[in-house]
C-alpha cells in the first residue's frame, strides 16, 4: 500500500499552520488550517506541506483525512493579536522553516489543484515554476508582512508579486491586506488573470484581466469572522476549477463564507451538507 505522500492530492496546500496565542490558550490558526477544513468538506483528497516544531499537538486539530507533511523546525510559527482602540497589533514570536521546492514529495508536484497560503512569508516564490500548468490559487497576505526585532508585524510591499501573480489562476485578498498601500489593488489587478478583492459584508470586486466586476455578499449575523476569507478563497478555487464558471463559484463561496461567520473558530468551516446545499443552489435546474 502506498505511503500517503506517494498519492497525488486533489488539493495541495502550502503554508504554515500557526500557534495562535489567545486568552483561551493555544489555538490552531493559519490560512492552511481553515483551507484544509474547507477542502475536506468538499470530499477532496487534501495534502498540506507545512513546518512546525516536532510533535506539534495543534496538528491534531486538522481534519483526520488531511495528509500532512511537516518539516521539523525549532518552533511552530506563533502569532498573537492584540486589539487596541487604534486597531489590531500583531506579533510573531516564532517562525518555522521556509518552505522550499525540494521539500515537495514527487507525487505532490502532480496535484490537481494547488493553493499557496503564506502566513509568514514562508512560501518560496519558486513554487510558481513547479505548478505553471496546475490550477493555482494564491492568497498572498503572508508575503506582505515583515517582522520587526520585537516581533511586531508591519505590512510591506510584496517584491515577488510580478513573478507569482501572472502564473496564478486566481488570487484572493482582503482590502485589509493592502491597507498600508491601497494602490496595490490596481497593481495586483493588472498582474493577475483573476483577482478577487474581498470587502467583508460589502461583497467585493473581481478583476478579470484588469477589468472590474462587483459581487454581493450574503447577509449573515456575524459571530466570528475569523477564517471566513480562507473559507471563501478555498471554496472559490475548488468550485471554479470543478465547474469552470467563476460566477457560480463566487455564489457558492459567498454562501459558505456567510455561514462561516455565524459560528466560532473551526466550527465555522463548512460541513459536507452545506457544501452540497450551496452547490445545488447554483445548479442549472435551480435557476
Question: Is 18 within a domain?
Answer: yes
Question: Is 287 within a domain?
Answer: no
Question: Is 63 within a domain?
Answer: yes
Domain that holds residue 79: 4-280
Question: Is 285 within a domain?
Answer: no
Whole-number pLDDT of residue 180: 87
Question: Is 83 within a domain?
Answer: yes
Residues 6+ apart with CB under 8 A from 100: 124, 126
Look up residue 181 and give its three cell numbers. Answer: 498601500
Whole-number pLDDT of residue 200: 83
- Residues of the chain by 3-state class (helix, strand, coil), percent to 5: 35, 25, 35
Question: Is 286 within a domain?
Answer: no
Confidence of residue 218 (pLDDT cuts 50, 70, 90): confident
pLDDT in tens, 231-255: 999 999 999 999 999 999 999 999 9
Q: Is the pLDDT of residue 72 over 70?
A: yes
Residues 6+ apart with CB under 8 A from 266: 28, 33, 34, 37, 61, 227
Whole-number pLDDT of residue 258: 92
Confidence of residue 2 (pLDDT cuts 50, 70, 90): low
Whole-number pLDDT of residue 287: 52
Phi and psi, residue 110, nearest 5°: -105, 20
Best CA proximity match to 199, nearest among 181, 183, 178, 180? 178
Q: Is the pLDDT of residue 84 over 80?
A: no
Q: Is the pLDDT of residue 223 over 90?
A: no
Instruction: Specify the CATH number for the domain of residue 265.
Output: 3.40.1190.20
Q: How many other CB atoms sit within 10 Å of the CB of residue 183?
A: 8
> Across residues 127-136, what is the average pLDDT?
95
pTM flag (> 0.85): yes
CA 268/CA 252 separation, integer angstroms: 15
CA torsion, ordered 39, 42, 46, 48, to nearest 10 deg = 10
Query: Based on the structure, what is the number of domains in the chain?
Result: 1
pLDDT in tens, 148-162: 999 999 999 999 999
Amino acid at each position: 500500500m502506498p505511503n500517503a505522500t506517494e498519492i497525488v492530492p486533489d488539493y495541495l496546500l502550502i503554508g504554515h499552520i500557526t500557534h495562535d496565542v489567545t486568552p483561551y490558550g493555544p489555538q490552531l490558526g493559519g490560512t492552511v488550517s481553515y483551507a484544509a477544513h474547507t477542502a475536506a468538506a468538499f470530499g477532496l483528497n487534501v495534502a498540506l506541506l507545512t513546518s512546525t516544531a516536532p510533535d506539534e499537538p495543534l496538528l491534531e486539530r486538522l481534519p483526520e483525512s488531511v495528509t500532512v507533511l511537516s518539516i521539523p523546525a525549532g518552533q511552530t510559527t506563533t502569532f498573537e493579536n492584540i486589539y487596541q482602540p487604534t486597531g489590531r497589533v500583531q506579533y510573531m514570536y516564532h517562525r518555522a522553516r521556509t518552505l522550499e521546492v525540494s521539500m515537495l514529495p514527487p507525487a505532490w508536484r502532480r496535484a490537481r489543484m494547488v493553493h499557496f497560503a503564506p502566513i509568514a512569508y514562508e512560501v518560496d516564490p519558486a513554487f510558481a515554476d513547479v505548478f505553471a500548468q496546475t490550477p493555482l490559487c494564491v492568497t498572498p497576505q503572508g508575503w506582505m508582512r515583515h517582522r520587526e526585532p520585537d516581533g511586531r508585524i508591519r505590512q510591506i510591499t510584496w517584491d515577488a508579486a510580478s513573478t507569482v501573480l501572472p502564473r496564478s489562476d486566481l488570487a484572493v485578498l482582503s482590502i485589509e491586506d493592502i491597507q498600508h498601500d491601497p494602490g496595490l489593488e490596481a497593481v495586483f489587478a493588472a498582474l493577475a488573470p483573476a483577482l478577487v478583492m474581498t470587502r467583508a459584508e460589502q461583497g467585493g470586486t473581481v478583476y478579470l484581466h484588469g477589468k472590474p466586476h462587483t459581487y454581493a455578499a450574503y447577509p449573515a449575523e456575524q459571530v466570528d469572522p475569523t477564517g471566513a476569507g480562507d473559507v471563501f478563497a478555498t471554496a472559490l478555487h475548488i468550485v471554479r476549477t470543478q465547474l469552470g464558471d467563476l460566477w457560480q463559484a463566487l455564489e457558492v463561496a459567498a454562501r459558505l463564507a456567510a455561514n462561516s461567520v455565524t459560528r466560532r473558530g473551526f466550527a465555522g468551516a463548512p460541513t459536507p451538507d452545506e457544501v452540497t446545499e450551496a452547490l445545488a443552489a447554483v445548479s442549472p435546474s435551480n435557476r
